[in-house]
Amino acid sequence: MSDDKHLLQDTVRDLGKVLGETIQAQLGEQWLERIETVRIQGRKAFQGDNDSAIALQKLFAQLGDQDLLTLGRAFCQFLNLANIAEQEYNSAQTDIEPINKLFSELENLKLDSSNLASALEQLHIDLVLTAHPTEVSRRTLIHKYTELAQCLDRLHHSQLSEAERTSLQRRIADLIAQAWHTDEIRSERPTPVDEASWGFSVIENSLWQAVPEFIRELDDKIKKEYGLSLPIDSSPVRISSWMGGDRDGNPFVTAKVTQKVLLLARRRAASLFFSDVDRLQSELSMGECNDELRALAGDALEPYRLILRELREKLRITFKGLNAAVNDEESDPRQWIQTQQQLLEPLMLCYRSLHECGMGVIADGELLDCIRRVHCFGIHLLKLDIRQGSERHAEVFAELTEYLELGDYNSWSEEQKQQFLQQELSSKRPLFPANWQPSDDVQEVLDTCKVIAANSKDGFGIYIISMASLPSDVYAVQLLLQKMGINWAMPVAPLFETLDDLNNAADVMSLLFSQQEYLQRVDNKQFVMIGYSDSAKDAGALAASWAQYRSQEALVALAEQHNVELTLFHGRGGTIGRGGLPAYAAILSQPPGSLKGGFRVTEQGETIRYKFGVPELAKRSLNLYAGAILEAIMAPPPAPKPEWRELMDSMSADGRDNYRSIVRDDPQFVRYFRVATPELELGKLPLGSRPAKRKPDGGVESLRAIPWIFAWAQTRLVLPSWLGSMKAMQAAIDKGNRPLIDQMIENWPFFHSRLSMLDMVFSKADVSISEEYDKRLVPDELRYFGQALRDELEDSIKLINTLLKQESVMQNDPAGKDSMQLRAGYLQPLHYLQIELLDRVRKQPEDEVNHTLERAMMITIAGIAVGMRNTG
């Protein structure tokens, strides 16, 4: 790898030059000159040159809609290429893998091999792929971008002949031209099945290779340094998914969709394992084997090939049968591979024989990788979670109790609900009358349970209850699962999302854990999901993060008290824990003991591609997670001192009140939000299958957390991530608490990581850009609102620089700062372009649709999202 610190900038420049040549070939030299002028003015505007900003605004005002569309497409593509270059560059930075950092620090921690062995047993990383509507790039383009990144990798890190280098450069130009001549925006929203298929592709193209390589490299490190070895059935990484299972507020995820996604996942797994086994049977041509294998292979001269060919044939039949099932054709599931053991036994038979016959080096090659894939992915490829809102389960029982003339379930007290549900859980009689005809919505909930019952438990993860707040929410799902014929204990996880729910989480779980019947039913194992985005939307970032910490802390203590194995499931989004230091710091800032039950986290939208899109990046991300988790287990962060807690209580309460006084209480806020941001226009962008709002006619309170953050990121005010937080800290300092705050920054990872997150957020904020949106789009009588917010933002940035002892934001993270500045010259023009387009779109008569204008608008939204590197 080149040591040239300018390699990344040079790559971005070279890719931009190729794109420029592509545009010139289609549109002529005058267009290339115009684009270059805009880029230069954009860079100067970013550096504070007001004349350049004015020049951009004047130019865009003079251009026609089609010209604005062309400019938008150009700068959107420039930003995509910059991201690809950075992704490829980052994937090569193997010298800074956290796992290496961890091993180098173990001596300082005074920990021996027994400590590490114990921690490795607790190393469970469960990545939950979700289809939140933040991935703005089409799958068609993602495939091109992935190959482009691979070409760059070969170009930079391989010994190439001149002819090979020329060939690669030609292929890069080819891919960039393909991308330019492809529509950036989907013509239709992806379906839940489309989203699930995209998730499968991430596994096939990246994680399928990365996971066994990660395990192998980890095994080699612990063997070399500590004489330890990972068991052959070790699966420190598991892959789960919400794609096709998350029906919370998404009417398009139905029982039929879930069934189809389960079949498609199994079909993809059969295909991938077929390829692995086909390759193995080709390679394992040895004749010597142990007695166990000989007893099955008979007189075969090549016994391994015989066994593996039989397995390959079973996989072929399985794939063919699943393909028929997907297409609603007849198939006999009895002929399919139905259990993980059926897949594993022949592989393990070969593995044992090779080792016994002195061919361990062969056994521990491709064959071991395949075995580890079986343990990680299994015959179902991933584990599908089911998510549904608590009110949908309550509807089932409301209709049922009304039909049975027992009263209105929804009007019952919590005690009455619990009594009814617990009685029915203990009852052996059927719950649902044969002649009962529920509403369509209730039938859909029941049909979902039927799908779970009709499939293997190995294909499922957990059942998550959105907006859970009471024990009856959990009992209701357990009862539904039981009475619909699910004969295994599917884990049911309440999702505590709002501030009040987080604060009450331990009380709710305490009521459940106090029931011996409940603990027996769950086998003393419990998943609890912690909501990040919605709690921040409810109360602001500071109050939400402290509530999340305290909730986890209380749940860990409660689980220990009741001898329950607790797995906390983190519903993090792209704006928290995205890449590098923030993710590492986020894990290390968890309360002590919170990782004992494993680390389960959502990976959503565009962050899946940024962190796991290619094998090297995926391995680096897995190393990052593993290093942070092992360190947190072996050297847990300190519990906060009483005085730290007291100050956090006070600051978070102030932060909550500051935030809500604007977002909830100010009657002008909604009006300002709707005109100052492209929130209303976001609904036209076909990002994900799920609607942007939980209720079609609702206001800001019904807006999902992701588009809420997305809208503010577009205008660079990034308001949800900081509003009210630093103001609360300033109030604490005014009361004489600066020494205590300094102590917390220095000694408490949780508090330091909060400030690091804010530091990153502030690097993405741009007061001048936000002001330009207001000047053009906000009525005079509302402009005071934006000015007040920008004043608070500027005060907040000054304070964080003071607290972190830096002169400018991200000074202590130069790589992160350079990352944002890398795209600044391309990003700045898109904001001015979007402002012009928003003004034109909003001045159109309501009954007229200008498709060129609409498409240009969507492209600027997508481009800014790409440039910001995170949307929700």
Q: Which of 44, 383, 417, 537 is catalytic?
A: 537
End-to-end CA distance of the chain: 34
Amino acid, res. 578: R
Quick one: CA dihedral 547, 548, 549, 554, positive or negative?
positive
Quick one: CA dihedral 47, 50, 55, 58, positive or negative?
positive
Are the CB atoms for 395 and 441 separated by under 8 Å? yes
Determine the angle formed by the axes of helices 113-121 and 615-634, rounding to 10 degrees: 120
Q: Which of 132, 144, 375, 764 is catalytic?
A: 132
Residue pointed to by tokens 């790898």: 1
Q: What are phi and psi of 464, to 5 degrees?
A: -105, 135
Query: Quick check: is 132 catalytic?
Result: yes
Lookup: tokens for 659: 């935030």
Alpha carbons 628 and 581: distance in angstroms, whole number: 10
Lookup: tokens for 710: 């997305």
Query: Quick check: is 256 catalytic?
Result: no
HSE-up of 39 (CA within 13 Å, CB side)?
19
Q: Which residues contact 81 (CB under 8 A, 6 or more apart)?
A: 12, 15, 16, 19, 148, 176
| Element (DSSP H or E) covering residue 648 | helix 642-663
Reduced to 3 states, what is the DSSP secondary structure of residue 340?
Answer: helix
Amino acid, res. 505: A
Helices assigned H by DSSP within 63-191: 65-91, 98-109, 113-121, 139-157, 162-180
**Other Cβ atoms within 10 Å of 129 Cβ, number:** 25
> Which of 477, 497, 329 lies closest to 396, judged by CA?
477
Are the CB atoms for 248 and 387 separated by under 8 Å? yes
> Which of 623, 624, 645, 557 lies closest to 596, judged by CA?
557
Write the DSSP symbol of residue 613.
S
Strand-pair category, 383-389 with 599-604: unpaired
One DSSP character per residue, 352-383 reads HHHHHTT-HHHIIIIIHHHHHHHHHT-TTSSE
Residue pointed to by tokens 């890190």: 157
**Other Cβ atoms within 10 Å of 453 Cβ, number:** 15
- Provide the b/e sequence for 667-692 (b: ≥16 CB within 10 Å): eebeebbebbbbbebbeebbbbbbbb
- Provide the b/e sequence for 826-842 (b: ≥16 CB within 10 Å): bbbbbbbbbbbbbebbe
Write the DSSP symbol of residue 203.
I
Alpha carbons 562 and 557: distance in angstroms, whole number: 9
**Other Cβ atoms within 10 Å of 457 Cβ, number:** 14
Q: Which residues contact 236 (CB under 8 A, 6 or more apart)?
A: 120, 123, 124, 125, 215, 218, 230, 626
| Element (DSSP H or E) covering residue 645 | helix 642-663
Alpha carbons 120 and 228: distance in angstroms, whole number: 10
Catalytic residues: 132, 537
